[in-house]
Structure 1
Amino acid sequence: MFRYNVRGENIEVTPAIREYAEKKVGKLERYFTDVPDATAHVNLKVYSEKTAKVEVTIPLPYIVLRAEETSPDLYASIDLVVDKLERQIRKFKTKINRKSREGADIPVPTTEVEEEVNELDVVRTKRLSLKPMDSEEAVLQMNMLGHSFFIFEDSETNGTSIVYRRKDGKYGLIETN
């Protein structure tokens, strides 16, 4: 069962908004047979140009679901972000099913995020638990998170590696010694 952390920036989170967000994000639970105790972090932002941005992050044991959407309507943004998360889950489950038919185990890292400000202007720190995976799985994780690079432990070399999206749209791999 998901727990919810619904926050608003430049908007008061009314009971109606909270209920709508929890109801929509809660529909994602049906994709998991054993839903762990996870917290769905929902950030609602309203900008001066009258647009609403919704960010949802759900850290699960084997995947971090994250999506964001911006539109003129807050409720539409919530709907769009849930649709995007559903596509991510379906894509991930398809990948798992394909890999399981091939006999491969798919470990996926979890991410802990700490936000802090210090004298070096580091505004965000991420601590990663690197788990072994191949470069194909790392590219999948990178795309699901919407990032341009992803750090992982290479299951073949046991070394730390990085996949990244190149300007030409293809992917690169950096292997460490």
Structure 2
Amino acid sequence: MDTNIIGVGVGISDRFRSVVEEKAARIENLAPRAQRLDVKVTHRVYRNGRVEDETVELTLIGKGPVVRAEASDPDKFAALDIAVDKLAEQLRRAKGKRVDARNHPRGARFDKGGGAISGLDVQPASVDTIQRVATGTISVVESAEEEQEYTPVVIRTKQFDPEWMTVEEAVDRMELVGHDFFLFIDARTDHPSVVYRRKGWDYGVISLTTAAPPTEELAS
């Protein structure tokens, strides 16, 4: 497995590269079909320079879905350890789900008439949640300490090509990237949708009523 390391605002020492190679061997044992591990280290400064940290992003590329993990810490070696642990846990959970799927085949079914999903622990979002998302009224509660001083809002934007898949496949992809939600196009309805993690192993799904445009239109 190849390893690619880049630093943004921070130098990459030979010692750090050596530690990454050791961690990569551990990951390769869990994902023998992986072809490349991308490691991105970013130095970030917050609150007018008074707080700094190193963010380590891991991207595992191979046959199958891409697996990602991210962690931040003032020490980039500690951030690397946390990110590797997250990635390893995601790989173990994905392997466990594959074994469980072989032993207990899952048969998610979608009722087009009633809009209900059976055979999968996914619950539609409530009407209140959908309305709050649509109107932008969901609020973020900040601690009193954070409210005492001004902190600029940093919005990180990412763009991805649309992917058509089932809700079940979207849940699996969400688990692999280690996020609390996953955006996709529902293959059954052509509606842009989001699955998200609820309590325990329960999941929710939010869908837009407007169908996604055809692939030819997206390409143009």
Q: Give the TM-score of the pair, scaled to structure 2.
A: 0.58
Q: How does 1:132-151 map to 2 (within 5 A)?
A: 132-133=165-166, 135-145=167-177, 146=179, 148-151=181-184
C-alpha contact (below 8 Å) 1:153/1:161 kept by paired residues: yes
The one-letter code of the counterpart of 1:56 is L
2:160 maps to which residue? 126
SS of the equivalent of 1:46 reads strand
- How many aligned positions are there? 153
Q: How does 1:25-174 map to 2 (within 5 A)?
A: 25-33=24-32, 35-36=33-34, 38-48=35-45, 49-103=51-105, 124-128=158-162, 130=164, 132-133=165-166, 135-145=167-177, 146=179, 148-152=181-185, 154=187, 157=188, 159=190, 162-165=193-196, 171-174=204-207
Q: Which runs of 5+ in 1 are unaligned?
A: 106-122
Displacement of 1:70 = 0.6
Displacement of 1:94 = 0.9
Flag the 1:161–1:60 CA change in 2: closer, same or farther, 3 A: farther
Q: Deviations over 1:3-56 (max 9, x none)?
A: 1110011211111111211221331111134x24x2211111223433111011
RMSD of aligned residue pairs (Cα, Å): 3.0
Q: Give the TM-score of the pair, scaled to structure 1.
A: 0.71
Which of the pair is proportionally richer in strand?
A: 1
SS of the equivalent of 1:6 reads strand
Q: Which runs of 5+ in 2 are unaligned?
A: 46-50, 108-156, 212-220
SS of the equivalent of 2:39 reads strand
Bigger radius of gyration among the two: 2
Flag the 1:61–1:127 CA change in 2: closer, same or farther, 3 A: farther
Distance 1:20 1:41 in 2: 14
2:8 maps to which residue? 9
Percent of residue pairs identical? 23
Between 1:55-64 and 1:67-76, the stretch displaced more is 55-64
Between 1:16-25 and 1:71-80, the stretch displaced more is 16-25
The one-letter code of the counterpart of 2:24 is V
